[in-house]
Amino acid sequence: MTETVLLVGGGGREHAIARAVDDSSDAELYACASNRNPGIASLAEGFEELSETDADAIVDYAADVDATLAAIGPESALNAGVADALDAAGVYAFGPQEAEARIETDKAFQREFMAEHDVPGCPDFATFEDPEEAADYIREYDGDLAIKPRGLTGGKGVRVIGDQITEEEGIEYVLDSDYEEFVLEERLVGEEFTIQAFVADGQYRVSPAVQDHKRAYEGDEGPNTGGMGSYSDATFELPFMTEADYTESVEVIDAVVEAMPDYKGILYGQFMLTDEGPKVVEFNARFGDPEAMNTLPVLDTDFVSILQAARDGEELPELTFSNQATVCKYAVPDGYPTDPEAGAKVKIDEESVARAAARATVETSGGEPRDVDGDALLFYASVDAREDGIYTTTSRSFAVVGLADTITGAEAIAEEALEKAGEEGLRVRHDIGKADLLQQRIDHMNELRGE
Task: Residue 193: name the closest of 149, 236, 158 by CA.
Answer: 236
- Closer CB to ligand GLY, residue 16 or residue 257? 16
Three-state DSSP class for residue 370: strand
Strand-pair partners of 362: 370
Per the document, the length of the chain is 451
What is the widest separation between alpha-carbon atoms in the chain?
62
188 binds, among ligand AMP, ligand GLY, none (CB under 5 to 8 A by kind): ligand AMP
Site residues (CB under 6 A) for ligand AMP, limited to 154-183: 155, 158, 160
- Closer CB to ligand AMP, residue 62 or residue 103? 103
Strand-pair partners of 182: 128, 149
Size of interface with ligand AMP, in residues (CB under 6 A):
15
Which one of residues 8, 85, 146, 332 is an interface residue with ligand AMP (CB under 6 A)? 146
Which one of residues 87, 289, 384, 411 is an interface residue with ligand GLY (CB under 6 A)? 289
By the rule CB under 6 A, 123 interacts with ligand GLY: no
Question: Are residues 348 and 424 in contact, defined by beta-carbon separation less than 8 angstroms?
Answer: no
Site residues (CB under 6 A) for ligand GLY, limited to 394-433: none
- Main-chain phi, psi angles of 181, to 5 degrees: -110, 140
First-last CA distance in the chain: 55
Size of interface with ligand GLY, in residues (CB under 6 A):
8
In the complex, what is the shortest distance from the CB of residue 246 to ligand GLY, in angstroms, rounded to a whole number? 19
What does the DSSP 8-state code read for residue 343? T
Task: Residue 409: name the closest of 355, 371, 365, 354 by CA.
Answer: 371
111 binds, among ligand GLY, ligand AMP, none (CB under 5 to 8 A by kind): none
- Closer CB to ligand GLY, residue 236 or residue 268? 268
Task: Provide the strand spans (E) within 357-435.
Answer: 361-363, 369-371, 374-380, 383-386, 389-392, 398-404, 426-428
Site residues (CB under 6 A) for ligand AMP, limited to 264-323: 270, 281-282
Distance between CA atoms of residues 429 and 215, nearest Å: 9
By the rule CB under 6 A, 284 interacts with ligand GLY: yes
The total of other beta-carbon atoms located within 10 Å of residue 126's CB is: 16
Which one of residues 12, 155, 190, 229 is an interface residue with ligand GLY (CB under 6 A)? 155
Distance between CA atoms of residues 195 and 287, nearest Å: 10
Site residues (CB under 6 A) for ligand AMP, limited to 184-243: 185, 187-188, 192, 214, 224
185 binds, among ligand AMP, ligand GLY, none (CB under 5 to 8 A by kind): ligand AMP
Strand-pair partners of 330: 399
149 binds, among ligand GLY, ligand AMP, none (CB under 5 to 8 A by kind): none
Task: Residue 246: name the closest of 284, 218, 211, 292 by CA.
Answer: 211
Task: Residue 379: name the closest of 44, 39, 43 by CA.
Answer: 39
Which one of residues 208, 278, 288, 337 is an interface residue with ligand GLY (CB under 6 A)? 288
Which one of residues 227, 265, 269, 297 is an interface residue with ligand GLY (CB under 6 A)? 227
In the complex, what is the shortest distance from the CB of residue 337 to ligand GLY, in angstroms, rounded to a whole number? 13
User: Under the rule (CB under 6 A), what is the footprint of ligand AMP?
Assistant: 123, 146, 148, 155, 158, 160, 185, 187-188, 192, 214, 224, 270, 281-282
User: Under the rule (CB under 6 A), what is the footprint of ligand GLY?
Assistant: 155, 212, 227, 284, 288-291
